[in-house]
């Protein structure tokens, strides 16, 4: 029996899936670690980073364990690249209704699956969605996109906003640095998600490895929809690539300036003081959303200058899911009261 969640389509007769989360039981796919989470913590949505969804909102970040990728530079390798069976002492088992109740109690406007790949825990996430919907709590996620068309459909039903990693633009890159043979399913799924969900795209850049593919990525996004926000990360490699140099900021600036003609919403992360964290109006170039970046420590919304998602200078509409949410303005949560 083949697993149908990710494009690896593992043969479950071999015991368990590559990610460690699925097995076969009585002719059905069984989720091995249901309702188990590695974290449930509040964060600003700008730190995820979603820049064009519910600006100013507070998200409850959740994640599980295991992944279908083996990125050589993974920042979460200690949880994503391990067999969940070895992580049982650091996981929390929390029923979906309780997880949603905790999000509410923490004063979170939405729930975002971050850390590892959500496709490896889709049955649990479907259950969370059921309760989140009842409480009007929207759900979003970060995904690597290497999932089957069936799983893409399931995810599009769970998540209304999706951040998809486009880590390079060649089979060669994905083969060498991620451990999968083809990029095609990821490109296919970005197009599928863009038809039904709010989509943002993230591209971590490693100097002299995939920086020459940046313009091709920009052109691909432009051909789907020009208003998809594109987040380029100056990758500070971890895991098995700790010796790699950090990308040169000036060279990256130049490479991204050339892509500005294709995409109005380009952001450049992972260094303190980046001027690429503000949103500029595509019509007149004025700053319409000011953000502050703490480098790897997260971002925050500083000023939202586009009431009703419209530039006050020229009237151009700013692409946005939802409107400004004042959730982080409140002093709502006492963390201890939640537990």
DSSP code per residue over 79-106: HHSS-GGGGGGG-EE--HHHHHHHHHHT
123 binds Zn ion (CB under 5 A): no
Answer yes or no: are the C-beta atoms of 269 and 247 closer than 8 Å.
no
Q: Which span sits near Zn ion by CB under 5 A: 15-23, 129-137, 241-249, 277-285?
A: 277-285
Indicate the residue among 91 and 313 with the shorter CB distance to Zn ion. 313
Interacting residue with Zn ion among 236, 281, 320, 321 (CB under 5 A): 281
107 binds Zn ion (CB under 5 A): no
Q: Which span sits near Zn ion by CB under 5 A: 51-59, 92-100, 257-265, 280-288?
A: 280-288
Give the up-direction half-sphere exposure of residue 225: CA atoms within 13 A in the CB hemisphere. Answer: 17
Q: Spell out the long-range contacts of 295-303 with Cβ–Cβ below 8 A and sequence spacing 24 or more.
A: 295/270, 295/271, 296/236, 296/270, 298/43, 298/44, 298/46, 298/47, 299/44, 299/46, 299/47, 299/49, 299/269, 300/44, 300/46, 300/47, 300/328, 301/44, 301/46, 301/55, 301/56, 301/328
* Minimum distance of Zn ion from residue 317's CB (angstroms): 10
Backbone angles phi, psi at 207, to 5 degrees: -55, 135
314 binds Zn ion (CB under 5 A): yes
Interacting residue with Zn ion among 172, 272, 284, 303 (CB under 5 A): 284
283 binds Zn ion (CB under 5 A): yes
- Pick out residues in 68-97 that bind Zn ion (CB under 5 A): none
Answer yes or no: are the C-beta atoms of 108 and 139 closer than 8 Å.
no
Tokens 């530039």: give the residue: 311
Q: Which span sits near Zn ion by CB under 5 A: 72-80, 162-170, 212-220, 279-287?
A: 279-287
**How far is the C-alpha of 178 from the C-alpha of 171, rounded, in Å?**
10
Indicate the residue among 125 and 306 with the shorter CB distance to Zn ion. 306
Q: From the centroid of its chain, how far is CA 208? A: 24
**How far is the C-alpha of 154 from the C-alpha of 177, rounded, in Å?**
27
Answer yes or no: are the C-beta atoms of 158 and 129 closer than 8 Å.
yes
Answer yes or no: are the C-beta atoms of 71 and 158 closer than 8 Å.
no
Indicate the residue among 168 and 282 with the shorter CB distance to Zn ion. 282
Interacting residue with Zn ion among 39, 316, 319, 333 (CB under 5 A): 316
Indicate the residue among 284 and 296 with the shorter CB distance to Zn ion. 284
Q: Which span sits near Zn ion by CB under 5 A: 86-94, 164-172, 194-202, 275-283?
A: 275-283
172 binds Zn ion (CB under 5 A): no
Indicate the residue among 122 and 320 with the shorter CB distance to Zn ion. 320
Indicate the residue among 95 and 284 with the shorter CB distance to Zn ion. 284
Interacting residue with Zn ion among 29, 187, 224, 313 (CB under 5 A): 313
* Minimum distance of Zn ion from residue 318's CB (angstroms): 8
Torsion angle (degrees, nearest 10) of CA 23, 24, 26, 29: 80
Indicate the residue among 266 and 311 with the shorter CB distance to Zn ion. 311
Q: How many residues bind Zn ion (CB under 5 A)?
A: 7
**How far is the C-alpha of 201 from the C-alpha of 73, rounded, in Å?**
18
Interface residues toward Zn ion, by CB under 5 A: 281, 283-284, 311, 313-314, 316
């Amino acid at each position: 029996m083949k697993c149908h969640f990710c494009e690896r389509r593992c043969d479950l007769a071999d015991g368990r899936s590559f990610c460690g989360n699925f097995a076969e039981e009585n002719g059905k796919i069984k989720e091995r670690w249901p309702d188990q989470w590695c974290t449930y913590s509040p964060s600003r949505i700008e730190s995820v980073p979603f820049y064009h969804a519910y600006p100013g909102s507070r998200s409850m970040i959740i994640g599980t364990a295991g992944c279908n990728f083996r990125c050589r530079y993974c920042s979460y390798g200690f949880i994503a690249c391990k067999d969940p069976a070895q992580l049982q002492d650091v996981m929390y088992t929390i029923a979906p209704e309780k997880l949603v109740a905790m999000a509410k109690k923490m004063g979170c406007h939405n729930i975002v699956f971050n850390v590892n790949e959500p496709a490896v825990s889709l049955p649990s996430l479907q259950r969370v969605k059921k309760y989140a919907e009842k409480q009007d709590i929207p759900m979003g996620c970060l995904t690597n996109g290497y999932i089957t068309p069936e799983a893409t459909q399931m995810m599009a039903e769970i998540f209304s906003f999706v951040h998809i990693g486009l880590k390079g633009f060649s089979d060669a890159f994905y083969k060498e640095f991620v451990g999968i043979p083809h990029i095609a399913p990821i490109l296919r799924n970005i197009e599928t998600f863009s038809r039904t969900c709010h989509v943002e795209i993230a591209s971590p850049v490693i100097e002299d490895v995939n920086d020459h593919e940046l313009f091709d990525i920009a052109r691909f996004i432009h051909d789907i929809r020009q208003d998809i926000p594109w987040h380029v990360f100056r990758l500070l490699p971890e895991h098995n690539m700790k010796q790699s140099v950090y990308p040169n900021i000036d060279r990256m600036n130049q490479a991204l300036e050339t892509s500005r003609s294709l995409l109005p919403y380009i952001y450049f992360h992972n260094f303190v003081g980046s001027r690429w964290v503000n949103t500029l109006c595509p019509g007149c170039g004025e700053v319409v959303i000011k953000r502050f970046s703490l480098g790897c420590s997260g971002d925050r919304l500083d000023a939202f200058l586009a009431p009703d998602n419209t530039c006050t200078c020229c009237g151009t509409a700013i692409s946005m899911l939802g409107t400004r949410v004042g959730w982080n303005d409140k002093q709502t949560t006492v963390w201890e009261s939640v537990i």
